[in-house]
Chains A and B, each alone.
Chain A
Amino acid sequence: MSAAVRTRIFSPDTTDRVASLLLWASAIATVLILLSIIGTIVYRGIGVIDISFLLDSPRMSGAEGGIFPAIVGTLCLVAVAILTAGPVGVGAAVYLTEYAPDNGVTHMITFGVECLAGIPSIVIGLFGYAFLVVYLGFGFSILSGGLALMFMILPWTVRASEEAIKTVSGDLKEGSVALGATKWQTIRQVVLPSALPGITTGVILGTGKAIGETAVIMYTAGSSLLLPESIFEPVRALPYHLYILASEGISDDMAYGSAAVLLGMVLLINFTAVTIQRYYQARSGLRH
């Protein structure tokens, strides 16, 4: 009804023009929001970042000094998460794409992966605290925090690897089997190498997610600002450090610097992943 009334007031051409103007505006607004966030953080943070900020330990609870232990802490946590989620995720993806029969168990597995992806990060953090820190006795440590992060990124590595494996052409596999290779030989020497760029992209994107995650590691990795000597020691990850600096009002400058470093790490990682993906897509595009 309202459409009919409106067309009587404005000609269809005018409505069309106004509408596309609004659509352009929504796109421009989206890009502006993004630019204002990245712009603010980089503009205010870049002045704080220098060698001593990156390589010194914090002094006076972070009001002065640098963020070195937090960077080390983040890298340790992410390393544990990726080294566990990577193999398990790829294994799960190989099973689901190459072996899984179409039955109840398989449906349950896919459903489980979906469920895990939907669980809020703070719930995973609570679970990590109850299960890893207390029940298994790992305490606040790199191990607890890294495994909790692994729970969070596992579904993403499974999905990305599945997608990558599905794109491997059936001809390649049939050729390999026809030559007398067993199923596993085919997977290891034909399927996985061709799927590798896609899998790598997925795992790198998982790293990007893990680096910025805070709620999962707050109550599993601890908040120590000392350099860890083993994976059984606590660390404070960079995003948690940023949270403490900002929410306790310790230092705006240090917070901007930490935010810029964190943002830089995540964007660099995501950029790498996308570049790898584009490079291989372009190459396989040429081949066909």
Chain B
Amino acid sequence: MTRQTRERMIEALLFASAVTAVVIVLLIMVFLFKEGAPFLIRYGIHTFCLGMEWNPIAMDGEPSYGIFPMIVGSVYIAAGSLVLAVPLGLGCAVFLVEIAPPWAQALIRRGIELLVGIPSVVLGFFGLVLLVPLIRESAGGFGFSILAGSVILAIMALPHIISISADAITAVPETYKQASLALGATRWHTIRNVILPAARSGIAAAVILGMGNSIGETMAVLMVTGNTPILPEPLYDVLDPVRTLTANIVIEMNYAAPGDHREALFATGIVLFVMVAILNAISHRVLKSRMEAGR
């Protein structure tokens, strides 16, 4: 074999590995839609996504497949987690970049690395044995709740929000800060009126990405939210249980018979896929425009 053919073959092989990810994404879409789309069309996207009742094995009468309560559940818990995680994470990021002495910086960075590594099922277990009883005893209700899900997801989102926001804050030019301090502003005024506004888009990207991750999270949420496929009543009651889209798939795949029921779970997967894809696309758009503005 000549040198040149050898080089060409290797390049082809490397190209093939590079294309693998694209092929997998395409296969995922093909199989998800192959299994779920016929049902979606048959049942109606509208009735599926906005239907209020999920009752796939109706003993008497027609089974119904409405996932609106689960869409609400997923969004509710993800939004709740951000309400908790963003202020804390942002505070931590500002502290990390602007205030922390070196030892505290090292400690927090190590801590974030550890927190990222904790498997979601372990966090869910922690929520199940500690958080759920705590909520039940102190706030009342069932314990398995929107609140529990939001807290656990907030813990999962925290390290990502801290590290992306810290990067955005680090990227603010030093001259902005010095100018503000030279004008007599205190350190806090500089952080609030100069640094945070300048880092705004990076932080926004972190928040949107966090939302996408939270909606896609499965195990941790599944173990603490109670999983009842109905809307909370009243809607603002964070102590009510809910079921998320991800939990719907995991719980029912076990016993869903082939046919409408199983296809409805794949259709749930399609809805989940689309929601997360939209959030990720927005987040990338924000980050990209930020990078271009930086240039």
Chain A positions within 8 Å of B, measured between CB atoms, are 3, 12-13, 15-16, 19-20, 22-27, 29-31, 33-34, 37-38, 40-41, 87-92, 94-96, 99-100, 108-109, 111-116, 118-127, 129-131, 135, 151, 154-155, 158, 182-184, 208, 211-215, 218-219, 239-240, 242-243, 246-247, 252, 255-256, 259, 262-263, 266-267, 269-270, 274
Contact = CB atoms under 8 A, between A and B. Distances in A.
A222 B100 CA distance: 47
B136 to A, nearest CB: 15
Nearest 6 A/B pairs, CB to CB: A212-B119, A120-B216, A91-B17, A26-B91, A112-B22, A95-B14
B28 A124 contact: yes
A118 B280 contact: yes
Contact of B32 (A33, A96, A99, A126): A126
6 contacts: A23-B94, A88-B17, A92-B21, A123-B216, A131-B27, A215-B246
Contact of B28 (A15, A23, A119, A135): A119
A115 B20 CA distance: 12
Interface of B: 3, 6-7, 10-11, 13-22, 24-25, 27-28, 31-32, 34-35, 87-89, 91-92, 94-96, 98-100, 104, 107-108, 111, 113-115, 117-126, 128-130, 155, 158, 162, 186-189, 191-193, 212, 215-219, 222-223, 246, 249-250, 253, 265-266, 269, 272-273, 276-277, 280, 284
B18 A96 contact: yes
A27 B104 contact: yes
Given A127-B31, A214-B218, A154 B246 contact: no
A246 B115 contact: no
B247 to A, nearest CB: 9
Contact of B130 (A40, A126, A243): A40
Contacts of A270: 113-114, 117
A29 B88 contact: yes
Contact of A30 (B31, B162, B284): B162
Contact of B284 (A20, A114, A126): A114
Given A130-B31, A184-B10, A120 B111 contact: no
B223 A12 contact: no
Contact of A123 (B14, B113, B269, B280): B269
A19 B188 contact: yes
A245 to B, nearest CB: 9
A261 to B, nearest CB: 10
A129 B253 contact: yes
B266 A130 contact: yes
B284 to A, nearest CB: 7
A30 B115 CA distance: 10
A255 B125 contact: yes
Given A23-B91, A23-B92, A154-B21, 14 more contacts: A19-B188, A23-B99, A27-B108, A38-B114, A40-B129, A94-B14, A122-B246, A123-B269, A124-B28, A125-B249, A212-B117, A215-B246, A218-B250, A247-B128
A99 B14 contact: yes
A263 B122 contact: yes
Contacts of A151: 24, 28
Given A12-B186, A119-B273, A183 B7 contact: yes
A26 B191 CA distance: 15
A27 B249 contact: no
Contact of B14 (A29, A92, A126): A92
Contacts of B212: 118
A131 B31 contact: yes
A30 to B, nearest CB: 5
Contacts of B114: 34, 38, 267, 270
B191 A41 contact: no
A30 B158 CA distance: 8
B272 A123 contact: yes
Contacts of A239: 119, 121-122, 219
